[in-house]
Chain A
């Protein structure tokens, strides 16, 4: 329970100046990291060292550092969000690493997520998929009372399970096909489970899936890697649900 000090770590990290340039790995040594520090605090310290040495610090995405905004990414030792389970990179702690260890850090790698710089990738493709149908078409105002339509507790809970997705992209990074099926299915399930979302369920599934294909994400081959790496434990049962919704809408066209 008490924090220890990791005397030395080798950090092998992907460096890439911008989208156009070719990247490569660089290795840095970092000393005296507390096991109570988070992974990103270790990165902060490494960056401070680099700044003092006059080296451009490593760019990486992060914001809330509470595991909920979905900004942080990082492919650490071959796993999205690193070696712990059910956590994002910002909640990964250094006690998961051993003194002297080499830690390999890469960006998410997917055609639809081009690298912007170092470990920062462009995930606007996710926004675009949601813009294709991941909403309920209601304007502000003129809606019924919140209790006008009862929703079974089970449906609400199931919707919430799917709605817990933070849009980080670990599912795409984990998938050998770079498929976004888990992400898309989470939104489709979230809304299809609720009466408010059912009205547009058919067009939603169709539009989101075709947008996903158009943006260069791969197909799903049921390897379940996405489910294993999802920091929010989104179930692949949602993919089954998406397939059902998709089929329904194709058949009824």
Chain B
């Protein structure tokens, strides 16, 4: 176990972070000016980190593949951000937020990290308000809160249905201010393709200018990766089209361990797939489940008629509707956590009760809420979501039930980091969704934004100093070093190899094929046989890809197909590692459901005796089996219990 030092401070849980801050080193202002930091990705984590580090005096270079840092996919988060402010006087506290997050994550996250997250959460709200984030307010002028799934208090701050957008704009504005001051050099439309190590330490990156195709070297004293999740391995997901796992994967190949890659969150309320022309899934906010009732027909013949378009849902009588969440989980009903709701929908559809032409959708019906509360109340609560639904599906959800189906949404797994957010490569950090640290096997709603900003504003700016304090004598990194030349050569060779395959099929062809395998065997429900099959199938598709992919266009010009090809090439490897990890974890926890580990009623069954650990995969070379290390999780402050929503 010596290979994994999580550096969790000694002492009582509530004192760990303060004691740690007092113990770690600080860099003087004069020395900060001489130290350079590269931040890759400009979502909530990356933008807040880049801005905060630059404010401290470090010289920052920030990179994003988008045309502007403001486009990062944090922008699409709808519902809100949690913080233990206790503004509602409902007995919320740092401990309660910590406890909810640990429990929601099904006891597969580190106590110390999660407690710190809860501890800094109030500062995030203060910071965002000071930046001008227009949070929802009460008539008295104070901040309003919302409730979210899986908790008993009201602690979610929001800006209409666009909380992610507003928080990202806040961080982007702080970043812009530092760009204007010359403290941050911003590289938009640049994609990181490798991390460069010198004497074992991260010293820079290789990036491709997506407009000119130039491969360039960038040096720094530390590298921060904030590149989000790898949900697009499934082809269809709620992630942005460009979201990818490549930066994290290059870190993995350079020695950073990948943890819990099989933990991905499947969101139950997405607009269903409409056919094989689909490129992307749209999320409908979880908040809809507060007032909508989920159902499918009781009789199979009704389901068949719905699938053929011969029956309108409104013509099915109440007694012929199966409100399966209310039936199976009487105490939580339609508000069971995301993973439970998703599996229940799949179960009904697999049994033949799906309601769209593909048989892969269930109803979310507002008829009952409209009868109870009136249309105007529902319109005030969900008007913008209803409008979006109608634009996409051409169905008016005030008059007919919505159709929903689960979709891949968030990656709880990611790069392994210690308490300082440093990976197993010295000087290489990972923050936000890109790391594994805070959400265990399942993330609670409104906690992704909290984690991204906690890492970027309040944790990394402290902990990175502890490392950089020992680097003050290191001169400006020389990018003509042989390590940079070698990395650049490898990157160029890989691009040329891809480009010169000149096969017959597009990148999307292979990506879709991979997505099907992932969804069928490494999706909502997994078993050993299927996972082994997936590993073999992925290998076959990868082989075909490297023989037959066609990348048109030029190398020295904007070339979206080339960009996609590089990302998809990495998705094969990520998908394979996910399947391996899922195979190793023969228990059901959070978003990870192994059919072999279920109760008699088909509910998830955790196995704490064998699996209370974080899996940490170490790269062992191309084609070689990765090595599995385990970081045991120690719970001193909470008691492990089986989740039950019956």
Contact = CB atoms under 8 A, between A and B. Distances in A.
Contact of B132 (A47, A62, A131, A190): A190
Contacts of A95: 394
Contacts of B125: 146
A152 B509 CA distance: 53
Interface in A103-128: 116-117, 120, 122-124, 126-127
Interface string A180-205: 00000000001101101100000000
A252 interface: no
A57 B241 contact: no
Interface stretch (B272-280, B366-374, B437-445, B492-500): B272-280
B135 interface: yes
B137 interface: yes
B147 interface: no
A37 B275 contact: yes
Contacts of A97: none
Contacts of B392: 38, 91, 93
Contact of A65 (B135, B136, B240, B509): B240
Query: What secondary structure prevails in chain A residues at the interface with B?
Result: loop
B173 A130 contact: yes
Contact of B176 (A34, A36, A134): A134
A33 B129 CA distance: 46
B141 interface: yes
B461 interface: yes
Nearest to B243: A63
23 contacts: A34-B277, A36-B394, A42-B277, A44-B508, A52-B506, A57-B561, A59-B560, A63-B242, A65-B280, A66-B280, A68-B165, A69-B70, A69-B73, A116-B558, A123-B67, A127-B69, A138-B127, A143-B127, A146-B85, A160-B134, A160-B159, A164-B165, A196-B130
B70 A70 contact: yes
Interface residues of A, number: 85
B67 A122 contact: yes
Interface in B308-334: 309
B140 interface: yes
Contacts of B129: 143, 146, 149, 196
B75 A147 contact: no
Contacts of B136: 156
A64 B67 contact: no
Nearest to B188: A124
Instruction: Name, among B85, B137, B392, the residue most crowded by chain A CB atoms within 10 Å (CB to CB).
Output: B137
B388 A67 contact: yes
B52 interface: yes
A156 B162 contact: no
Contacts, number: 225
Given A64-B240, A147-B87, A1 B141 contact: no
Instruction: Name, among B51, B143, B391, the residue most crowded by chain A CB atoms within 10 Å (CB to CB).
Output: B391
B626 interface: no
Interface string B157-179: 00110100110010011101101
Interface string A49-66: 011101111010111111
A160 B552 contact: no
A71 B71 contact: yes
A124 B67 contact: yes
B51 A191 contact: no
A164 B160 CA distance: 10
A132 interface: yes
Interface string B559-575: 01100000000000000
Contacts of A130: 172-173, 176
B275 A160 contact: no
Contacts of A48: 506, 508-509
B506 A117 contact: no
Contacts of B395: 1
Contacts of B48: 140
A132 B179 CA distance: 10
A145 B180 contact: no
B290 interface: no
A90 B215 CA distance: 31
Contact of B55 (A61, A123, A140): A140
B131 interface: yes
B141 A152 contact: yes
A207 to B, nearest CB: 10
A25 interface: no
B131 A135 contact: yes
A57 B85 CA distance: 51
Contacts of B457: 140-141
Interface in B532-569: 550, 552-553, 557-558, 560-561
A136 interface: yes
Given A68-B162, A127-B68, A135 B282 contact: no
B130 A143 contact: yes
Given A36-B394, A69-B75, A135-B177, 16 more contacts: A18-B557, A36-B275, A40-B279, A45-B277, A50-B552, A63-B240, A64-B240, A69-B70, A127-B68, A131-B176, A135-B132, A143-B129, A146-B85, A163-B169, A164-B162, A196-B131
Nearest to B72: A69
A3 to B, nearest CB: 7
B314 to A, nearest CB: 12
Contacts of B165: 68, 164, 166
B113 interface: no
B458 interface: yes
Given A44-B279, A93-B392, A153 B68 contact: no
Contacts of B279: 38, 40-41, 44, 65
A221 interface: no
Contacts of B622: none
A132 B238 CA distance: 34
Contacts of A64: 71, 73, 75-76, 240-241
Interface string A142-161: 01111101111100110110
Contacts of B388: 67, 91
B76 A69 contact: yes
A94 to B, nearest CB: 9
Contacts of B240: 63-65, 69
B138 to A, nearest CB: 7
Nearest to B550: A51
Contacts of A117: 557-558
Given A3-B274, A151-B141, A160-B134, A63 B552 contact: no
A241 interface: no
A145 B387 CA distance: 36
Interface string B127-156: 111111011111111110000000000000
Instruction: Name, among A70, A144, A193, the residue most crowded by chain B CB atoms within 10 Å (CB to CB).
Output: A70
B294 interface: no
A41 B123 CA distance: 42
B274 A36 contact: yes
B126 A143 contact: yes
A135 B179 CA distance: 12
A146 B126 contact: yes
A136 B140 CA distance: 24
A143 B51 CA distance: 16
B586 interface: no
A42 B68 CA distance: 25
Given A116-B558, A150-B141, A34 B275 contact: yes
A251 interface: no
By Cβ-Cβ distance, the 5 closest A-B pairs, closest first, are A150-B141, A135-B173, A143-B130, A159-B134, A160-B134
A68 B76 contact: yes
Nearest to B133: A163
B92 to A, nearest CB: 14
A93 B278 CA distance: 12
Interface in B35-49: 48
B274 A34 contact: yes
A153 B127 contact: no
Contacts of A151: 137, 141
A230 interface: no
